[in-house]
Amino acid sequence: MERIQKRVKNYYLAIDIGASSGRHILGWMENGKMRIEEIYRFENHLDNKNGELCWDMERLFKEVVTGIGKCSELNRIPKSIGIDTWGVDFVLLDGAGEMLGEAVGYRDDRTKGMDKKVYEIINEKDLYSRNGIQKMLLNTIYHLYSLKLNKPELLEKAEHFLMIPEYLNYRLTGVMKNEYTNATTTQLVNAENRDWDWELLDMLGLPRKVFGRLYMPKDSVGLLKEEIERQVGFTSEVVLPATHDTGSAVMAVPTNDDDAIYISSGTWSLMGIERLIPDCTEKSRIHNFTNEGGYHYRYRYLKNIMGLWMMQSIRKEFSHKYTFDELFTLAYIGRYFSSVVDVTDICFLAPNSMRQAVQEHCRGTNQPEPQTECELLFCVYNSLAKCYGDVVKEIEAVTGNDYKNIYVVGGGCQDRFLNRLTAFHTQKNIYAGPVEATAIGNITAQMLKTKEFDDLVQARGTITKSFAVKKVNDDEFCFED
């Protein structure tokens, strides 16, 4: 009996949903290492509904349930399930728990001009001093204020505010719980007391009643509802990871060193450091850093950079479907092209044509416009890497520290060309991996709940020895000629 018991594994299911795809990944411990396996993948995208860019929540929920059912087919029943997604976006529910309106996505332009409206009530400096969140028009605060001004009937009927993973948790369990790390992306959480900024909500005229208690990663949501249990063939506990995907990804950064900067590289590039206290000073605001909540009340002190969204959008406009190696080669050929764009500019958030947006930005800044695919690719790659270099200098200026290493995690860590350009522009040691950092961080939170790890330090040590982390080869590309 004892020998049989040793073979039993605890499986943990991470459901990691991004702006373009979602994946179900099982994780378990084996011989002192964490193992993972993707068991289901699905597409995700924004739909235009009545002139608004919206997420199809019914389709997303069906995909979530379908993927959970794959565990039963494989006879690997997870001890717990955790869902993470992008931040900012939310749904409103009425008293019966039904959605009010659509789940409008962060790329929708309903927030246009809302910053000025909010600043009529509280100026930008005072707002930052309360929450320490980087000014971005996509932040939840501006979406909610847009509803207040343009669709007040929705807020009047609303009884609950749930962010995307919280709504999916509710559909699985019937339990509504707001989670801390994602809540901080709303710009409505006070950085000091780590709770909703009730005074700010009152100032903005947003209803207090819709915002629930904030729970932390590792907290239980509840068991799957009976109807879901019948569909998937088993029951399991739904647990809160860091439900903001960057919060989960940062948990999987494979180092415990203090002299490290991370880049969570994907659709967005989230670049920064971990801190134990927030920095809501005027100096930090001027540099436009954000203090997002992390695991165990750590702070993710970072900048949101447009990231590989620009490259993904450009690739769709090419008539030929290039492989990644072909893209790298084309970009390298275009290294003579010197124009640089500001990859944090809102013009790149949701343009009809990314190619035209890059060209127009160059034209507006009196620089040559990229004409060929080679020039366009190198312009975007080089602009991203140069922005990384600038952010490194800003982090060091604000903190007064010198950082030696940059850890690139997430799907973007596979981009060898961008990694090498990042090494060139930052003059730091670049380490790439793990690829599935967000899912690994999600699983890590679940494992911390069941005491597979004593703490995050131990967990990161295990992650370091469990997954490939490669130092970028300085000789792979040369950009100095």
Q: Which two tokens stand for residue 17?
A: 């949903």
- The number of beta carbons lying within 10 Å of the beta carbon of residue 330 is 19
Cβ atoms 379, 370 nearer than 8 A: yes
ω before 241 within 30° of 0 (cis)? no
Structure tokens that stand for 306 in this block: 């447009």
Give the Cα separation of 24 and 64 in Å (integer). 8
464 torsion bin: left (phi>0), alpha (psi -120 to 50), beta (else): alpha
Rounded Cα distance between 252 and 433, Å, is 9
Q: Which two tokens stand for residue 47?
A: 């739909």
User: Any idea which residue has 């490290």 for tokens?
Assistant: 260
- Token match 């809540």: residue? 183
Give the gyration radius of the chain's Cα atoms. 22
Count of beta carbons in the 10 Å neighbourhood of residue 479: 14
Catalytic residue flag (residue 245): yes
DSSP character at residue 338: -
Q: Extract long-range pairs of 325-331: CB within 8 Å, 24+ residues apart.
A: 327/377, 327/417, 328/416, 328/417, 330/373, 330/374, 330/377, 331/374, 331/377, 331/378, 331/381, 331/417
Cβ atoms of 394 and 134 within 8 Å: the answer is no
CA 72 to chain centroid, in Å, comes to 29
Name the catalytic one among 16, 108, 197, 245: 245
Tally Cβ neighbours within 10 Å of residue 406: 22
Q: Based on the number of CB atoms within 10 Å of its own CB, is 120 exposed (0-12), middle (13-18) or buried (19 or more)?
A: exposed
Torsion sign, CA atoms 455, 251, 392, 287: negative
Amino acid at 419: N
Q: What is the enclosing helix (H) or strand (E) of 227? A: helix 226-232
- Report the distance separating Cα 394 and Cα 80, nearest Å: 40
Residue in the structure block whose two tokens are 């009809």: 352
DSSP annotation string for 437-477? HHHHHHHHHHHHHTTSSSSHHHHHHHHHHHS--EE--TTS-
Question: What whole-number distance in Å separates Cα of residue 64 and Cα of residue 48?
Answer: 22
Residues recognised as catalytic: 245
